[in-house]
Structure 1
Amino acid sequence: MNDSLILKNISQHISLSDEEAHYFISLLKERKIQKKELILKQQQLCKEISFVHSGILRAFYMDTAGKESTIMFAMTDWWITDMYCFVNQKPAMLNIEALEDSVVFQLKKDDLEELYSKVPKFERFFRIMMQNAYTREQLRIIENLSLSAEERYYTFIQKYPLAAERITQKQIASYLGITPEFLSTIKTNKHKK
């Protein structure tokens, strides 16, 4: 397991001794995921939080009619889970799918609780991570309420230029809450300007 990326991610917020880092790494499970494979399905118990070592994943909700709404994307060096269901150990509301062949490091809920007990500074790390995620989601909600679809698309492209090249138009449209056809119109209009 090449753990340098995840340790670098952790070191942005806390410092670990060699012993603490070794203990943390011992709790992780490396998982290779094929493109289109689901690592979490709606109604499945959400037991892990995943760190994306390589690749890209997306979390999406599928309604009873089969319509998908993308909630988030997670690229290399990001964390992803169905947070509500992970924290409360409930059946998942979301699906998490690999958009390309990916590798994740997974941490089980029970192991996370043990980690908090044995290395309390991890509570600080995950608190900061949760605050950042909450802030990101709040800004996204405000953008969805205040910006036009075109402005939301340009904001997405500015924030995630590398992701936009690796995600299908249909998935970007699902994230923006518009149809792929409307997104195509936005992109066509951009090129005419």
Structure 2
Amino acid sequence: MNDETFLRLKAFFPQVNFQGLDESWFRSLWVEKTFNQYDIITEAGSIEHYFYFVLEGVQALYILNEKGQKVVLGFSYTGSPSGVFDSFIAQTASSTFLEALKPSTLLGIHLSDYHHLFEKHPEFHKWGHLFFQNVLFGRLFREVELLTMSAEQRYVTFMQRCPEELKVIPQKYLASYLNMKPETFSRLRASVTY
């Protein structure tokens, strides 16, 4: 891991004081993984062994409905965390897929190293608490949006808050995430300003 990558990774853990941490040991915990566009990173039915930090790319987390269609639950992108968190923490089979929508480079930490990091440096517990609290709040806000907003409101809200790199992925993924047909998404994209 080069110095620039290390600084990006450190910035992901703002609650952690890296002064007393063995930098070379911390770097050694992370492995760089690359994926081509549309590679499956984690398959439904498998157990997630890595927590990822996205260096580059966009990924979608989705399930397959009874018709075999992808139902997108969320995205990860440059600078964000990625992975199938419930499977990673519980070490149970994933019900979801994680797919690279663009060529992606991820830094991954294996579960055993993740636990060792938390044991050796308890300040990571504060980060973990805040991280999973934010995940929970994000899921709650998403449920409220899906249950209370019109398709147009969901579209505008999403487009106002999403990073630019999400705006250029195939619109069928965005439409699925927003719980609308691709035709509706296309119509809104052409007619609604945000």
- Scaled by the length of structure 1, the TM-score of the pair is 0.92
* Alpha-carbon contact 2:48-2:84 (below 8 Å) kept: yes
Aligned with residue 124 of structure 2, among 119, 122, 125: 122
What's 1:152 paired with?
Answer: 154
What's the % identity of the aligned pairs?
25
RMSD of equivalent CA atoms: 1.5
What's 2:35 paired with?
Answer: 33
Cα–Cα, structure 1 residues 166 and 189, in superposed 2: closer, same or farther, change >3 Å? closer
What are the ranges of 5 or more consecutive residues in structure 2 without an aligned counterpart?
Answer: none
* Alpha-carbon contact 2:15-2:123 (below 8 Å) kept: no
Q: CA deviation at 1:161?
A: 4.2
Q: CA deviation at 1:18?
A: 5.9
Q: CA deviation at 1:163?
A: 3.3
Q: CA deviation at 1:145?
A: 0.9
Instruction: Provide the rounded CA distance (Å) in 1 between the counterparts of 2:23 and 2:148.
Output: 43
Cα–Cα, structure 1 residues 76 and 164, in superposed 2: closer, same or farther, change >3 Å? closer
Is 1:7 aligned to 2:42, yes or no?
no
Q: CA deviation at 1:167?
A: 1.6
What's 1:24 paired with?
Answer: 26
- Scaled by the length of structure 2, the TM-score of the pair is 0.92
Stretch moving more, 62-71 or 171-180: 62-71
2:180 counterpart letter in structure 1: I
* Alpha-carbon contact 1:54-1:103 (below 8 Å) kept: yes
* Alpha-carbon contact 1:55-1:99 (below 8 Å) kept: yes
1:131 counterpart SS class: helix
Instruction: Provide the rounded CA distance (Å) in 2 between the counterparts of 1:66 and 1:185.
Output: 25
Q: CA deviation at 1:143?
A: 0.8
What are the ranges of 5 or more consecutive residues in structure 1 without an aligned counterpart?
Answer: none
Number of matched pairs: 190
* Alpha-carbon contact 1:7-1:21 (below 8 Å) kept: no
Q: CA deviation at 1:22?
A: 3.1
* Alpha-carbon contact 2:83-2:98 (below 8 Å) kept: yes
Is 1:110 aligned to 2:101, yes or no?
no
The answer to which structure has the higher helix fraction is 1
Q: CA deviation at 1:116?
A: 1.0
Stretch moving more, 90-99 or 157-166: 157-166
